[in-house]
Amino acid sequence: MLDLGLSILFSSLIFVVFKLFDTYKIQTLYAIIINYVVASAVGMFFYEKKIELFEIPAKPWFLGTLVLGVLFIVVFNLMAATSQKSGVSVASVATKMSLVIPVIFGLLVYNEKLGALKSIGILLALAAVYFASVKEKDIPLKKNIIILPALVFIGSGIIDTSIKYLEETLVPNEEFPLFSAVVFGSAACTGIVFIVIKSFKKRLAPNITTAIGGITLGILNYFSIFYLLRALQHENLNSASVFTINNVAIVMFSTLLGVVLFKERISIKNWMGITLAIISIFLVAFF
């Protein structure tokens, strides 16, 4: 449970950093790319064995890391577009409700078992994510723009499911740091290609503040994934439990951080969501 708690902590702090990006006028796109470069470097640093760069492409999980790297960049941009056109709450709900996809995958592919109380906990988790995310002045979701949140939902679910599949079948425990580093490196390369293409239309130069923001985000990002992978190895928690607790607790904890650090106003629906989150975590983790 310690590994899962650390993953939740680092993931929640990522939202705090994103909030500070707007406050300090940090260039988000450049910071994201710097973040992936730093996260990859941190993974390489914590990998205990000697790194043979030419041997990495021969790893059975290498192709998966390339796909994940592209997905990381694409889904992030979809989340940004959804936030701008449909509202932040819609993007948040679409992202966190995607926990359904890896849970269903675990049940179908790995024949994981869920008792009645755990099943109720997962259903409560979905309700908790919605109520914790919805705001009083939400932008209504129109039929003609449903495609964006749908893509965020599917993309986020595919990322979580892919990480679980690779961790379960192809990635040895001792290669977690290297695996995480290559995933982030792939995302960084994808982002750099995107920047190069975009620079033909408009050139932007990253500043010191952006670099600091990207470095901070990269460290948090790496450890959020690293500890999630370790949590998935826990003998007493199946993937359904891990993803449910992780996603719901992130919504709950990041909401509380918003109240404490940024004086964000929480509605009755939000508090209802936090309450449901606590109940769902209890049911999934201990029954």
Query: Tens digit of pLDDT for each residue in 207-255?
Result: 899 999 999 989 998 898 888 878 887 777 777 778 778 878 887 788 7
User: pLDDT at residue 89 above 60?
Assistant: no
Token readout for 31 is: 């910071």
Give the pLDDT of residue 135: 62
The reported pTM is: 0.77
d(CA 50, CA 75): 32
d(CA 96, CA 153): 8
> From the CB of residue 58, how many other CB atoms can be counted at a distance below 10 Å?
8
SS3 assignment, position 60: coil
User: pLDDT at residue 46 above 60?
Assistant: yes
Whether the Cβ atoms of residue 245 and residue 126 lie closer than 8 Å to each other:
no
The secondary element (H helix, E strand) that includes residue 132 is helix 116-133
Residue for token pair 């892919």:
162
Whether the Cβ atoms of residue 131 and residue 273 lie closer than 8 Å to each other:
yes
C-alpha 219, offset from chain centre: 14
Q: How confident is the model at residue 87 (pLDDT cuts 50, 70, 90)?
A: low
Give the pLDDT of residue 136: 63
Token readout for 265 is: 């106003």
Q: How confident is the model at residue 144 (pLDDT cuts 50, 70, 90)?
A: very low
Whether the Cβ atoms of residue 177 and residue 226 lie closer than 8 Å to each other:
yes
d(CA 236, CA 25): 44
- Which whole number is the average pLDDT over 171-184? 84
Count the alpha carbons within 13 Å of 91 in the hemisphere toward its beta carbon. 14
